[in-house]
Structure 1
């Protein structure tokens, strides 16, 4: 079954989270694929989202397939949008810095940073986004890259600006050209320039960090050129910085809304990994992705032509009651938990283990250093094509560790 979507009706942060989830439920119940005014094909069911995200031969990640002729492809060479075989080369290089052992070894440093942030936070209550959820992954990713401490603030600001950029309607040639011109003269170019300088510095004077590792890495006897290293670094930044901050913000909100879960995790830390997966299911840091068909195909019996935009909704797939019992319930003991937050197939998130290490370390530090917390008022969410997360989380912290008014 196919129905038309009004672009104005597609939910975003302005709708409120409850309204978004209700809209997505209605679309799943309507079945099939829904086409918006720009011609993009929206996919909502878990099985269909999974199929689209694991079949790069049919559903490419490369937007060059739908760009107007003559418009520069700013994502050229980027692993996040590359198709095989180029993707495999870049992925193998990046994976050298994200081995399970290296990620696990970061656990103590995550705890150290988290404790320091909490020690500096105002007593009694504070905006967790300002004082904790953004600072923790930002510090970790800067250290992972070997970014000098003096550059960390400007570095983070550029990443945030890039993540906030909204993509143009790909059917509007003028809008696409304007967006390309703005990007070439904006924060993306500035960040690339900084990273290219850092690559040159690390070739001359190797040091700790991912940049130094990548400029020395070899694959099939070849080294990456500095522009390739810088491009790869930008993608890892986008995947490992604000997305983790968004999920950590979601975790704080969900545990404030469910004090019984917060109490259970304080009492039994072995439940934390399962709770992290449930946060990822309930509140993915990206609500939806974009793919581009390489051939004529179909999804759920709906014909999709080659060169079309396909929008798989992760937030919808993660709440599909065909896969998850009581999907609206936050269940820290949910098992199995087949959420699609980290993607599927060759584009499965490279930083997934780093995110899990950071989230686990952050929650342990919070439980060790803060009494029970609640949230003061309604949480507002920010949403771009790349990011969905709370923009302010006003935590109210119990005055003493023995204050347990919210416990069942």
Structure 2
């Protein structure tokens, strides 16, 4: 079945997270596909979101299917929006730089960076977003890429600007053309230019780092081109920087709201992997995706024409009580935890292991250094098409049992 949906009816986190979750629950209970004022088709149940995200032949990630033919596609060549068979080549080559062993080996460095950030944080309490959650993955990703320290600040600024860009309504050709013109002269192109220069430098002068690994990766005698490496790098930056920061910020808030879970994790660190998965389920760093139909199709009995925009809501799927018992409950021992936060199918997030290592490692250090933390005011969230994250996390730090600067 189908129902119409005013775009003004779609709540985001800025209207209150509880209100957004309640709205998503009502949408699931109706069991319908909802069409908004722009003609986008929204799906909410776990089964429907899973179906859309695992069928790239019907629900493509490539916006070229809905863009006017003469409008530049700024995502062309990016693995995240590439369909088979090209996607398989890019994925297998990129995976050579993201082996589980390489990601696990980063654990000690995560702990070292986290400890240094806590050493410099103000005593008694601090905004975790400013002093910790954004800084840690920013340092990690710059080191992974082999970015010179002198470039790190400008590099981070460009990534943040790109994450804040809102996509235009794809049914409005004038808006799409204006957005493409802005992108051609904006931070996206500047970042791509910097990464292309870095690729050329690493080919001429090999050095440790992710860019060096990607330019050297080989499959059946083929290597990635510099534009392909730069495009992959942009996606890795998004997954490894601000999205990881978002997950870490969400973890701090959820554990402040659930002191019993905080105490359990502090006492038993073996619970950390499960706790990270539950944070990912409850607070995905992106609440929804966009897919583009290649043929006439249907979802839940609702016809969707070719060339339409489909919006699968991961936040909604992660709270579907058909899959998750008591989905509103934050349960660090939940298992199995089949959340769709990292996507599904061929576009499952390549940086998932990196995010898990960073968040679990950071929490481990926090439990050693801070006996108890709380949040002293209501947390506000920011939400764009790419990022759902706390704006500020004002931690109040207790030092009643040990000095946080002396983990011993």
Q: TM-score range by the shorter chain?
A: over 0.9
Specify the alignment match of 1:380 in structure 2.
380
Aligned to 2:135: 135
State whether residues 372 and 399 of structure 2, in contact with CA within 8 Å, keep that contact through their aligned partners in structure 1: no
Please say which of residues 205-214 and 122-131 is displaced more in the overlay: 205-214
Matched residue SS, 2:203: helix
Matches of 2:71 and 2:163 in 1, distance apart?
A: 21
Offset from partner CA, 1:186-232 (integer Å, 9 cap, x none): 00011011111111111111101011122222222122221121111
Question: Hey, what's the Cα distance between the residues in 1 that align with 2:22 and 2:214?
Answer: 45
- Identify the residue that residue 195 of structure 2 maps to in structure 1: 195
1:302 corresponds in structure 2 to: 302
Structure 2 CA distance for aligned equivalents of residues 205 and 391 of structure 1 = 40
Q: TM-score, normalised by structure 1?
A: 0.97
Which residue pairs with 1:338 in the alignment? 338
Equivalent residue, structure 1, for 2:290: 290
How far does residue 149 in structure 1 lie from its aligned partner after superposition?
A: 1.2
Please state if 1:103 is matched with 2:64: no
**Corresponding residue number in structure 2 for 1:246:** 246
Is the Cα–Cα contact under 8 Å of residues 94 and 217 in structure 2 kept in the other structure? no
Quote the offset at 1:43 in angstroms: 0.3
Give the match for residue 406 of structure 2.
none
Counterparts of 1:224 and 1:291 in 2: how far apart (Å)?
A: 26
After superposition, what is the alpha-carbon deviation per residue over 1:319-342, rounded to whole angstroms, capped at 9, x for unaligned? 011111111110111111110000
Equivalent residues of 1:372, 1:401 under 8 A apart: no
Q: Is the 8 A contact 2:250 2:283 kept in 1?
A: yes
CA distance in 1, matches of 2:401, 2:2: 54
The whole-number CA distance in structure 2 between the counterparts of 1:366 and 1:172 is 47
Tell me whether 1:37 sits opposite 2:37 in the alignment: yes
The equivalences for 1:153-192 within 5 A come to 153-192=153-192
Higher deviation after alignment, 71-80 or 226-235: 226-235
Structure 2 unaligned spans of 5+: 404-408
**1:148, 1:363 → 2: CA distance?**
27
CA contact (8 A) 1:375 1:396 kept: yes
**Cα RMSD (Å):** 1.0
Cα separation, 1, equivalents of 2:161 and 2:142: 16
Give yes or no for contact 2:42–2:312 (8 Å, CA) kept in 1: yes
Is residue 351 from structure 1 mapped to residue 341 from structure 2 by the alignment? no
Alignment partner, residue 66 of structure 2 = 66
Aligned 8 A contact 2:370 2:399 in 1: no
**Residue in 2 aligned with 1:273?**
273
Gaps of 5+ in 1: 404-408
Distance in 2 (CA, whole Å) between partners of 1:46 and 1:15 is 24
Please give the per-residue CA displacement for 1:79-110, whole angstroms capped at 9, x wherever unaligned: 00000001011111110010011011111111
SS in 1 for 2:24: helix
Q: TM-score, normalised by structure 2?
A: 0.97
In structure 2, the residue matched to 1:369 is 369
Match of 1:406 in 2: none
- Counterpart CA distance in 1 for 2:401 and 2:382 is 32
* Correspondence for 1:255: 255
Distance 1:227 1:293 in 2: 27
Shift of 1:402: 6.2
Query: What secondary structure, in the 3-state scheme, does the structure 2 residue paired with 1:197 have?
Result: helix
